[in-house]
């Protein structure tokens, strides 16, 4: 079985239309795969603040470049994990849905967070996976510079590739700091994205069942 790390990297080279990679040789390592160059990052953070007319020599700010680098290094480092899948011995053939998984990621346009909940479901085929792993998948793909649409698709593709289920559905609902704090400045507005594959896309009843399970519950 491929590790999730390998799948994450593969996603960067597979064209959006799912298909077989076409023998172009080994994929180039994605930029995010390298180790963090802390010295360079701290110098750059200090330089950015100075260029923004911030007095970086002020007492309270002395450690700020280091803290900035700590934060971004953490938020941009996906945790590799090796998901264990199990044979679907019981022949379970109803939807499995992990609902309201909290997540946060960084918008690649502004490096500001977007955060909310993910609903992740699949209709099992031959394999099933531990429920906590669905949350780990969300975390894994969240830890990089993202747009919500791509994050949604990456989660769904991973489940599709790893479990070969009869269908996959992923719905993400998030508030973007770049929308709520600046620009149109609309706090509370959420963006909803979805990726539906297989039966969850094609069969109206299953699709409806999944989507009704993901509707916002009373808080």
Residue 149 among the catalytic residues = no
Give the pair of three-digit tokens for residue 137: 């998948």
Nearest to 183 by CA among 111, 116, 113, 110: 110
Find the binder of Zn ion among 4, 7, 95, 107 (CB under 5 A): 107
* Least distance from Zn ion to the Cβ atom of residue 181, Å: 10
Residue 108 among the catalytic residues = yes
CB nearer Zn ion, residue 62 or residue 109: 109
The active-site residue out of 107, 119, 162, 173 is 107
Q: How far apart are CA 61 and CA 206, in angstroms?
A: 54
* Least distance from Zn ion to the Cβ atom of residue 142, Å: 15
Residue 148 among the catalytic residues = yes
Residue 107 among the catalytic residues = yes
- Render the burial of 85-111: b for 16+ CB within 10 Å, e for the rest: eeeeeeeeeebbbbeebebebbbeebe
Residue 195 near Zn ion by CB under 5 A = no
Find the binder of Zn ion among 67, 109, 186, 216 (CB under 5 A): 109
CB nearer Zn ion, residue 44 or residue 178: 178
Binding mask 156-185 for Zn ion (x = CB under 5 A): ----------------------x-------
CB nearer Zn ion, residue 110 or residue 150: 110
- Alpha helices by DSSP H, listed for the chain, are 4-11, 38-51, 64-75, 131-142, 148-163, 177-180, 199-202, 204-214
Q: For the chain, how many residues are written?
A: 219
Residue 110 near Zn ion by CB under 5 A = yes
* Least distance from Zn ion to the Cβ atom of residue 214, Å: 24
Residue 119 among the catalytic residues = no
The active-site residue out of 47, 74, 79, 109 is 109
Give the pair of three-digit tokens for residue 108: 């690649």
Residue 140 among the catalytic residues = no
From the list 109-117, 124-132, 145-153, 163-171, the region that binds Zn ion by CB under 5 A is 109-117
- The residues, ordered by sequence, that sit 6+ positions from 184 with a Cβ below 8 Å of its Cβ are none
- The residues, ordered by sequence, that sit 6+ positions from 136 with a Cβ below 8 Å of its Cβ are 4, 79, 81, 83
The active-site residue out of 47, 63, 74, 108 is 108
Q: Which residues bind Zn ion (CB under 5 A)?
A: 107, 109-110, 178
């Amino acid at each position: 079985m491929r590790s999730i790390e390998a799948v994450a990297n593969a996603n960067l080279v597979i064209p959006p239309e799912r298909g077989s990679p076409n023998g172009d040789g080994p994929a180039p390592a994605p930029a995010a795969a390298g180790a963090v160059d802390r010295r360079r990052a701290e110098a750059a953070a200090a330089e950015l603040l100075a260029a923004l007319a911030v007095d970086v020599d002020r007492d309270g700010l002395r450690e700020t470049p280091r803290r900035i680098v700590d934060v971004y290094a953490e938020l941009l480092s996906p945790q590799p994990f090796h998901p264990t899948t199990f044979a679907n011995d019981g022949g379970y053939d109803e939807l499995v849905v992990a609902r309201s998984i909290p997540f946060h990621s960084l918008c690649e346009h502004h490096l500001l967070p977007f955060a909310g909940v993910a609903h992740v479901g699949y209709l099992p085929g031959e394999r099933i996976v531990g429920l906590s792993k669905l949350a780990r998948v969300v975390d894994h793909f969240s830890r990089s510079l993202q747009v919500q649409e791509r994050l949604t698709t990456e989660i769904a593709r991973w489940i599709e590739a790893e479990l070969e289920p009869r269908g996959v559905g992923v719905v993400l609902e998030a508030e973007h700091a770049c929308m709520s704090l600046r620009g149109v400045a609309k706090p509370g507005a959420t963006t909803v994205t979805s990726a539906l594959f297989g039966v969850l896309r094609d069969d109206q009843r299953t699709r409806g069942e999944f989507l009704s399970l993901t509707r916002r519950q009373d808080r």
